[in-house]
Amino acid sequence: MHPSSRDAASSVSPEEIARFSALASQWWDPTGPMRPLHAMNALRISWACRHFPMRGRTTRHVRVLDIGCGAGLASEALAKAGHDVLGLDASADGIAAARAHLEAHPLPEGSGTLDYRVGSAEELVEEKAKFDAVVALEIIEHVTDPEAFMKMLADLVEPGGIVIVSTMNRTLRSLAVGKIGAEYVLRLLPIGTHEWRKFLTPAELGRFGREADLRIQALAGMSPSLSGWKESRDLSVNYIAAFRKG
């Protein structure tokens, strides 16, 4: 039986939090265990920003929630792009690393604002917090109940706002490349980072979105290339989706 989206911290898996907390001090090392996230980050951020809603006559200073932000890799990039960002993570170690990196590397002039908070999506829902955009990058495959999690993302975004989700498809290719290849052969990720059965197909993610009053606006594959990660039509491993509320 899945926990309710209103149950305290129901989206948070203690085992997953412990795993990522152990990596917090290495999060910002581009050659360390988070190097796949470093490699794809520019693509994730540019794609997400293209689909953010207008705020006034500009797409700058959109109020963004980066949920499951880890040590702030995406949060900092979103703030540098001019948005006002809250980075949220259940790992105190991850947030401590995020704050330390921000203190050592202040945002450049012209950036948006950036704050961090230790906590869960459920806490923000209870506070009735609302954002123009909610970003959940490589996180939904780690939560306890992805269907309830999508409903919480919908609860946290303003009507007409945008939810961005990136994740991994559950295919034989993703098993070979994203799980066995990345963790056991190439050692790009620590063993145990992913559980292949928890990967979501685009159809499943779309259904969870529809049930949460989120309508898909755009869908793209994310594929590695010699010159960096590129947007593609190949959804068989990594993909990213934009949903509009209402």
Tokens linked to 78: 């979103």
pLDDT of amino acid 17: 85
Q: Is the pLDDT of residue 1 over 60?
A: no
pLDDT over 90 percentage in the chain: 72
Contact 61, 83 (CB under 8 A): yes
Q: Which amino acid is at 86?
A: L
Helix (H, G, I), strand (E, B) or coil at 228: coil
Tens of pLDDT along 149-197?
999 999 999 999 999 999 999 999 888 877 665 655 556 666 666 688 8
Q: Per the annotation, does 110 bind a ligand?
A: no
- Residue 61's nearest CA partner among 45, 48, 79 is 79
User: Is 89 marked as binding a ligand?
Assistant: yes
What is the distance between the alpha carbons of residues 222 and 202, in angstroms, rounded to a whole number?
13
Q: Grade residue 208 by pLDDT with cuts at 50, 70 and 90.
A: very high
Q: What is the C-alpha separation between 98 and 222, in angstroms, rounded?
A: 25
What is the C-alpha to C-alpha distance for residues 187 and 182, in angstroms, rounded to an integer? 6
- Rounded to whole angstroms, how far apart are CA atoms 166 and 141? 9
Angstrom distances, CA of residue 105 to CA of 74, 113, 148: 14, 14, 36
Q: CA geometry: angle at 71 spanning 61 and 4, to 5°?
A: 85
pTM here is: 0.90
Indicate the fold that domain 14-245 takes in CATH. Answer: Rossmann fold (3.40.50)
The answer to whether the annotation marks 244 as part of a ligand binding site is no
Domain ranges, ordered by start, for the chain:
14-245
Q: In the chain, pLDDT over 70 holds for what percent of residues?
A: 88
Over residues 129-140, the pLDDT tens digits come to: 999 999 999 999
Provide the greatest CA pair distance for the chain: 49
Digit-coded pLDDT (tens) for 69-98: 999 999 999 999 999 999 999 999 999 999
- On whether 68 is known to bind a ligand per the annotation, the reply is yes
pLDDT of residue 18: 85
**pLDDT at residue 186 in the model:** 53
* Mean pLDDT within 218-245: 95
Beta sheet of 230-232, edge-to-edge order: 114-118, 84-89, 63-67, 131-137, 157-168, 238-245, 214-223, 230-232
Question: What count of residues does the chain have?
Answer: 246
